[in-house]
Amino acid sequence: MKLRDAEFAEYHNAYMTTTSTHQPEMKLPEEKQLRIGIIHVGAPAGGMNSATRAAVAYCLTRGHTPVALHNGFPGLCRHHDDKPLGSVREMSWLDVEGWVSKGGSEIGTNRGLPSTDMPKTAFCFEKYQIDALFIIGGFEAFTAVSELRKARPEYPAFRIPIVLLPATISNNVPGTEYSVGSDTCLNALVAYCDAIKQSASASRRRVFVVETQGGKSGYIATIAGLSIGALAVYTPEEGIDIRMLARDIEHLRVTFAKDRGQSRAGKLILRNEHASDTYTTEVIANMIREEAGGRFESRFAIPGHVQQGGTPSPMDRVRAVRLAVKCITFLEGFAGKSKDEIMADPMSMSVIGIKGASVVFGAMEKVEKEETDWKDRRPKDESWLQLKTIVDTLSGRPKPDDCCETCGKGK
């Protein structure tokens, strides 16, 4: 094991601690055992269930009590005391046994935020004696943690350690370069685009404009574009204007004129759903068709929620397990501390993230102030942006400085 890298060692440790709950030597003393709430917030993403299963298994191994808060914060507030079964349920190993390969969210997820009914949320935390909270979700989950942090002075129930595991297909959570679920989404989107490209290749003179999800982050569109060899990728970060479209249409004209049907490569353009309010996917496809003058044709395709994927990818599963175990270990570090001590520690509310080759915890207050673009719901510094240039270079897409601003033709 000493010859292996640190990441492999963590995967091995996670496997050993989550495949069997009967490990007496790992059980903590009773005074350090916690009631850990587990909640999903936001849209479903592949790997959420894998993370939950790993967290529950690790909790049971260590002597903690995992408590599932079903259907997000609205479910907690509205249905916590329903009969015969409320939304707050202690979990056993058998409850999560088959979750590792399941997509979606088995405990239910919801975009609702705690601010909808903060007093009721605090009441539920106190009633069910939640000692720590493990949140899995995307930007809504990030916002929820921010709201709970700001409510701490007024509500002592929130003076507990809280950690967020980013899980969203959009990969737009500040504090990390990778969110669980984004790989599953990319697998589904690339498979869809490959099928579309086959159709475009068969007809030889067809362009497809495919709409991708991803919120106001162009990560999914860019990485998928790089994977399938897209002619162009339109993202919210860059936007769309008439000159850009003129250049791309002229580039299509030149490309089809040169190959004269000899090339069997289909042409695909990817457009993020929020790249422009005016130039929608259908509008762009119609503009290309109109300007083609019968020399080639254009279609548009919207995969929609297919992009959320079905079965989580192996990458999302193993990373979800690794990060979930590290999150629970992180929460254990606050066992035995008073509420005031926890509140005084900025790391008591954190987001776990992957940055480069490292797994890091970032204090929420610092991440909120320094790394978050609240207006566009994404990080201020997106590590993948440089890949956009590579997509354009590989497709031969002309640069603005090399084209006429009016007609889009090369100078």
In which band, very low, low, confident or very high, does the pLDDT at 8 lie, cut at 50, 70 and 90? confident
**High-pLDDT (> 70) share of the chain, %:** 95
Residue 405 confidence (pLDDT) = 62
Q: What average pLDDT does the segment 233-262 reach?
A: 86
**How many C-beta atoms surround the C-beta of residue 262 within 10 A?**
7
Task: Render pLDDT for 359-402 as a digit per residue (tens, 0 to 9).
Answer: 999 999 999 999 999 999 999 999 899 999 999 999 888 877 66
Residue 407 confidence (pLDDT) = 55
Residue 13 confidence (pLDDT) = 77
**How many C-beta atoms surround the C-beta of residue 407 within 10 A?**
12
Count of residues making up the chain: 411
Q: Using the predicted structure, report yes or no on whether residue 192 has a pLDDT greater than 60.
A: yes
Q: Which of 147-151, 356-360, 383-387 has the highest mean pLDDT?
A: 147-151
Lowest mean per-residue pLDDT among 20-34, 126-140, 326-340: 20-34
Encoded tokens for 124: 């539920």
| Residue 327 identity | C
Q: Report the C-alpha gap between 100 and 98 in whole angstroms.
A: 6
Residue 263 confidence (pLDDT) = 59
Which value, to the nearest 10 degrees, does the dihedral of the CA atoms of residues 50, 54, 57, 61 take?
A: 170
Q: Is 261 exposed, middle or buried (0-12, 13-18, 19+ CB in 10 A)?
A: exposed
Residue 297 confidence (pLDDT) = 86
Q: Which residue has the tokens 């996917």?
A: 281
Residue 256 confidence (pLDDT) = 81
Task: Render pLDDT for 295-351 as a digit per residue (tens, 0 to 9).
Answer: 888 999 999 888 887 899 999 999 999 999 999 999 999 999 999 999 999 999 999
Q: What average pLDDT does the segment 169-196 reach?
A: 94
Q: Using the predicted structure, report yes or no on whether residue 409 has a pLDDT greater than 70.
A: no
Q: Report the C-alpha gap between 230 and 272 in whole angstroms.
A: 13
Q: Report the C-alpha gap between 226 and 235 in whole angstroms.
A: 13
In which band, very low, low, confident or very high, does the pLDDT at 211 lie, cut at 50, 70 and 90? very high
Which value, to the nearest 10 degrees, does the dihedral of the CA atoms of residues 57, 58, 62, 67 take?
A: -70
Q: What backbone torsions phi and psi does residue 112 show, to the nearest 5 degrees?
A: -60, 145
Mean pLDDT of the chain: 90
34, 132 Cβ separation under 8 angstroms: yes
**How many C-beta atoms surround the C-beta of residue 5 within 10 A?**
9
Q: Using the predicted structure, report yes or no on whether residue 262 has a pLDDT greater than 60.
A: no
Residue 396 confidence (pLDDT) = 87
Residue 305 confidence (pLDDT) = 86
Task: Render pLDDT for 271-299 as a digit per residue (tens, 0 to 9).
Answer: 999 999 999 999 999 999 998 888 888 99
| Alpha-helical runs (H) found in 105-234 | 118-127, 139-150, 182-203, 219-228
Q: Using the predicted structure, report yes or no on whether residue 264 has a pLDDT greater than 60.
A: no
| Residue 318 identity | V
Q: Report the C-alpha gap between 299 and 284 in whole angstroms.
A: 9
Encoded tokens for 330: 């992180």
